């Protein structure tokens, strides 16, 4: 198989028209010394059916894993519309006259993300929630007097690791953890109050990695006017359909992961990083922005804007090095939000919360209690011995994401997610075997 549309005769004709005696002569600018001899040692060519067999993957029968990637119902129209080649094969919309579809869809996405987060501005995506947090911290550090980055220990461990990677290359900023209360699973407000300062940027994930809802009013009171900069991290975007918009607590940025909006779990990627901020920060934010404007005859039109912040213009002085981002995932998010609407989004979020409540009560009946007393959205941290976890996996039940590697202080435990993709029966299986 080859996707080259030429016959051997075509190749010879073209070579001759280009002044070459043989098609192979097209490689003559490559010195002989660096040429590769013989064929590459790679597989194929394989036909489509053989490939299908090779690419077969079978998911387990009941999955309660979350931890930043969530299985939610995705209406069929999302796949149907996002796979239209006009969207999926298009390039970055640098030529607005033939890219109004991508541009308007991005603009709709930005508008809905701003509304849902309660912020004024959303960019057109970053790679994932972790890099969104890292970019948020880098933006904070570009501000005057910010030298430390505080992040709650109950923020997604992978996000904190990516943050460390980005910051360890970006100068001398240090990352400090703000601990959680061992009984509630919520941020230790006393520790927060003593750590925060005008030289610090503070980030808190809500709901946190354990699924626990943070006391946001108290947090906001503790950091507003005290922290030099602060941000809220949302790893489960569906929570935006149920709870007070994070922007209403007054942060500088709301960043996170919007995979839940219409993007499949996809074995972990692509994900959809979002970045929302206040208008005053728009010129300092990373990533692409779509703006509304007019065309030469005064018609409404869209185009990429504030590109003077970006790498292709500013090069080493850009606000970020990001170029390709997660365009098609934002289209899927826009499709999903349009398909669900306000009531649908609320109902999906409520189903998740109700499912987690149901599982909690089933477990309580069996004498198994969550690790934390704080209120949860749809994830619960539960004690679970590794042997038992392996036994569940062998039965095709994935009980959650193990916590012991990232939180050894919690012992053998998992964070278990319930979504509207699970059923009561699955919850009974899980509870019965735990």
Partner 1 sequence: MAGRDDVAGFPLIREPLLKDVGAPGRNRRVLPAPFDVPQAVDLPGIAVLPDIPDVSEVETVRHFTRLSDLNYGVDNGMYPLGSCTMKYNPKMAEAMAEALKPVHPGDEAAMGSVLGLLFLLQQHLGEICGMDACSLWPAAGAHGELTGMMVIRRAVDAGGSGRRKVLIPDTAHGTNPASCAVAGFVTENIPSGSSGFLTAQTVEEHLDGDVAALMITNPNTLGIFEEEISEIARLLHENGSYLYMDGANLNAILGVARPGDMGVDCMHVNLHKTFATPHGGGGPGGGPVLVKEGLAPYLPLPRIVNDGHGGFALDREGPESIGMVHSCLGNVAISIRALAYILSIGPSGLRETAKAACLNANYLRSRLAGLYDLPYPTPTLHEFVLSDRAFKGTGVSTMDVAKALMDFSFHPPTVYFPLVVGGALMIEPTETEPIEELDRFALAMEDIARRARENPEELHGAPVTTPVGRVDEVLAARSLILTWP
Sequence-ordered list of residues with C-beta below 8 angstroms from that of 248, at least 6 positions apart, any chain: 118
Nearer to partner 1, 41 or 409 (CB): 41
Instruction: Decide if residue 81 touches partner 1 (CB under 8 A).
Output: yes
How many residues at the interface with partner 1, by CB under 8 A? 202
Selected binder of partner 1 within 21, 57, 225, 365 (CB under 8 A): 57
Question: Candidates 142-150, 195-203, 224-232, 286-294 — which segment interacts with partner 1 by CB under 8 A?
Answer: 286-294
Instruction: Decide if residue 53 touches partner 1 (CB under 8 A).
Output: no
Instruction: Decide if residue 142 touches partner 1 (CB under 8 A).
Output: no
Question: Candidates 190-198, 363-371, 380-388, 395-403 — which segment interacts with partner 1 by CB under 8 A?
Answer: 395-403
Instruction: Decide if residue 161 touches partner 1 (CB under 8 A).
Output: yes
Q: How many Å is the maximal CA-CA distance in the chain?
A: 82
Q: Residue 303's Cα: distance from chain center in Å?
A: 24
Instruction: Decide if residue 189 touches partner 1 (CB under 8 A).
Output: no
State the nearest-atom distance from the C-beta of 111 to partner 1, in Å: 4
Of 377, 387, 381, give the one whose Cα is nearest residue 363.
Answer: 381
Selected binder of partner 1 within 137, 139, 151, 159 (CB under 8 A): 159
Residues 324-363 that bind partner 1 (CB under 8 A): 324-329, 331, 334-335, 337-348, 350-351, 353-355, 357-358
Residues 281 and 139: beta-carbon distance below 8 Å: yes
The SS3 assignment for 247 reads helix
Selected binder of partner 1 within 194, 198, 266, 373 (CB under 8 A): 266
**What's the rounded Cα separation, in Å, for the pair 191 and 219?**
11
Residues 86-105 that bind partner 1 (CB under 8 A): 86-93, 95-102, 104-105
Instruction: Decide if residue 205 touches partner 1 (CB under 8 A).
Output: no
Selected binder of partner 1 within 21, 36, 225, 387 (CB under 8 A): 36
Selected binder of partner 1 within 114, 141, 192, 384 (CB under 8 A): 114
Q: How long a stretch of residues is the chain?
A: 434
State the nearest-atom distance from the C-beta of 104 to partner 1, in Å: 5
Instruction: Decide if residue 433 touches partner 1 (CB under 8 A).
Output: no
Residues 306 and 283: beta-carbon distance below 8 Å: yes
Instruction: Decide if residue 224 touches partner 1 (CB under 8 A).
Output: no
* 69: its two tokens: 């990637």
Nearer to partner 1, 243 or 412 (CB): 243
Alpha-carbon dihedral sign for residues 265, 266, 267, 269? negative
Residues 348 and 363: beta-carbon distance below 8 Å: no
Q: What are phi and psi of 401, to 5 degrees?
A: -100, 125
Instruction: Decide if residue 191 touches partner 1 (CB under 8 A).
Output: no
Question: Candidates 144-152, 189-197, 222-230, 241-249 — which segment interacts with partner 1 by CB under 8 A?
Answer: 241-249
Selected binder of partner 1 within 21, 56, 408, 409 (CB under 8 A): 56
The helix (run of H) or strand (run of E) holding residue 60 is none
* DSSP secondary structure string for all residues of 114-135: HHHHT-SEE-S-BS-HHHHHHH
Nearer to partner 1, 111 or 226 (CB): 111
Instruction: Decide if residue 175 touches partner 1 (CB under 8 A).
Output: no
**What's the rounded Cα separation, in Å, for the pair 71 and 86?**
27
The helix (run of H) or strand (run of E) holding residue 168 is helix 157-168
Residues 365-384 that bind partner 1 (CB under 8 A): 375, 377
Of 361, 383, 359, give the one whose Cα is nearest residue 372.
Answer: 383
Nearer to partner 1, 40 or 144 (CB): 40
* DSSP secondary structure string for all residues of 209-240: TTSBPP-HHHHHHHHTTTSSEEEEEES-GGGG
């Amino acid at each position: 198989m080859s996707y080259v549309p030429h016959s051997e005769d075509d190749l010879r004709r073209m070579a001759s028209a280009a002044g070459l005696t043989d098609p192979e002569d097209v490689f003559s600018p490559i010195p002989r010394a660096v040429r590769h001899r013989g064929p590459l040692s790679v597989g194929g060519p394989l036909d489509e059916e053989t490939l299908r067999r090779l690419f077969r993957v079978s998911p387990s029968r009941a999955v309660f894993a979350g931890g930043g990637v969530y299985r939610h119902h995705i209406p069929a129209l999302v796949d149907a519309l996002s796979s239209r080649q006009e969207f999926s094969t298009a390039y970055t919309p640098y030529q607005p006259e033939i890219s109004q579809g991508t541009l308007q869809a991005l603009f709709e996405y930005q508008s809905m993300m701003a509304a849902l987060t309660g912020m004024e501005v959303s960019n057109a995506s970053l790679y994932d929630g972790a890099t969104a947090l890292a970019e948020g911290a880098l933006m904070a550090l570009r501000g005057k007097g910010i030298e430390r980055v505080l992040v709650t220990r109950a923020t997604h461990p992978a996000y904190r690791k990516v943050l460390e990677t980005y910051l360890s290359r970006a100068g001398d900023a240090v990352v400090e953890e703000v601990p959680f209360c061992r009984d509630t699973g919520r941020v230790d407000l006393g520790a927060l109050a003593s750590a925060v300062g005008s030289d610090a940027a503070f980030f808190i994930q809500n709901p946190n990695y354990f699924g626990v809802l943070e006391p946001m009013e108290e947090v906001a009171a503790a950091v507003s006017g005290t922290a030099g900069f602060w941000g809220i991290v949302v790893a489960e975007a569906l929570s935006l359909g149920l709870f007070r918009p994070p922007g209403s607590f007054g942060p500088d940025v709301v960043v996170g992961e919007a995979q839940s909006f219409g993007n499949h779990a996809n074995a972990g990627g692509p994900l959809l990083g979002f970045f929302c901020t206040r208008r005053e920060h728009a010129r300092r934010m990373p990533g692409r922005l779509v703006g509304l404007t007019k065309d030469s005859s005064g018609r409404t039109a869209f185009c990429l804007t504030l590109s003077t912040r970006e790498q292709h213009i500013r090069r080493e002085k850009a606000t970020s090095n990001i170029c390709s981002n997660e365009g098609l995932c934002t289209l899927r998010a826009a499709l999903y939000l349009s398909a669900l609407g306000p009531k649908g989004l609320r109902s999906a979020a409520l189903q998740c919360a109700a499912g987690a409540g149901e599982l909690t009560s089933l477990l309580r009946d069996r004498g198994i209690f969550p690790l934390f007393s704080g209120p949860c959205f749809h994830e619960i941290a539960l004690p679970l011995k590794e042997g038992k976890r392996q036994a569940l996996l062998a039965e095709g039940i994935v009980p959650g994401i193990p916590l012991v590697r990232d939180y050894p202080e919690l012992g053998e435990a998992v964070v278990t997610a319930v979504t509207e993709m699970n059923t009561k029966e699955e919850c009974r299986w899980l509870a019965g075997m735990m």
